[in-house]
A and B are shown apart, each in its own frame.
Chain A
Amino acid sequence: AQSVAQPEDQVNVAEGNPLTVKCTYSVSGNPYLFWYVQYPNRGLQFLLKYITGDNLVKGSYGFEAEFNKSQTSFHLKKPSALVSDSALYFCAVSLYNTDKLIFGTGTRLQVFP
């Protein structure tokens, strides 16, 4: 069965510092990996995805994520955090492009001025 783990409920970082939000996955095949962001009382906004190819994926708002097959990880990163990045971040996996998404439990990112 597919699963996604986000080990941190919350990540705190000072504005201007680099941020990392962790995600590990488990699938019985080649994964399709996604990151979404959710602001309060809003739906999910797509940030980036990995399908195949280059392990470093660049997405919206300066975010990027690195696919690491040996560690089964897909950590979200940003070189310099903004206060406006504070939100709930979800990692998701599917087994193929038309499959349903399985979401992690979410990580709340808090960026302090």
Chain B
Amino acid sequence: GAVVSQHPSRVICKSGTSVKIECRSLDFQATTMFWYRQFPKKSLMLMATSNEGSKATYEQGVEKDKFLINHASLTLSTLTVTSAHPEDSSFYICSAREGPPVYEQYFGPGTRLTVT
């Protein structure tokens, strides 16, 4: 089946620094990628939807200047957490949606971000 990878799987950074998380579709082209945030024992919260070559669409309440999303190619999207703070510590999961006619959505393994 289709595989989505995320890198890094875990990252620890100091408060005030920026962290970039990569999401790649390994064996298919993803016209759309989604970024989710998952808090402990909570559901996934959709942060933004990114379409290749265009600006990301952010969900209400998500700061677009803090969570920068770039979808430069059909196989790569990046999420950059800028000026990270401890409250940004979370599990970030991306998903990639295959194009027509399949439209199936595949999830990455997640990235655990800890901000100290």
- Interface residues, chain A, with chain B CB atoms under 8 Å away: 36, 41-46, 90, 97-98, 100-106
What would be 29 A-B contacts, judged by CB atoms less than 8 Å apart?
A36-B107, A41-B110, A41-B112, A42-B109, A43-B4, A43-B6, A43-B93, A43-B107, A43-B108, A44-B93, A44-B95, A45-B107, A46-B105, A46-B107, A90-B43, A90-B44, A98-B32, A98-B97, A100-B34, A100-B49, A101-B34, A101-B46, A101-B105, A103-B43, A103-B44, A104-B43, A105-B43, A106-B41, A106-B43
- How many residues from B make CB contacts under 8 Å with A? 23
Q: Closest 8 A-B residue pairs measured CB to CB?
A: A43-B107, A44-B107, A43-B109, A105-B43, A103-B43, A97-B103, A43-B110, A103-B44
B67 adjacent to chain A (CB < 8 Å): no
Interface residues of chain A: helix, strand, loop or mixed (majority): loop
B110 proximity list for chain A (CB < 8 A): 41-43
Chain B min CB distance to A61 (Å): 14
Cα distance, A102 to B105, chains bound together (Å)? 13
Question: Which residues of the partner chain A approach B104 to less than 8 Å between Cβ atoms?
Answer: 46
B residues less than 8 Å from A42 (CB atoms)? 109-110
On chain B, the residues within 8 Å of A102 by CB distance are 46
Docked CA distance A71–B25 (Å): 37
Q: Mark B89-115, 1 if CB is under 8 A from A, else 0.
A: 001010101000001111111101000
Q: Are A46 and B103 neighbours in the complex by a CB distance under 8 Å?
A: no
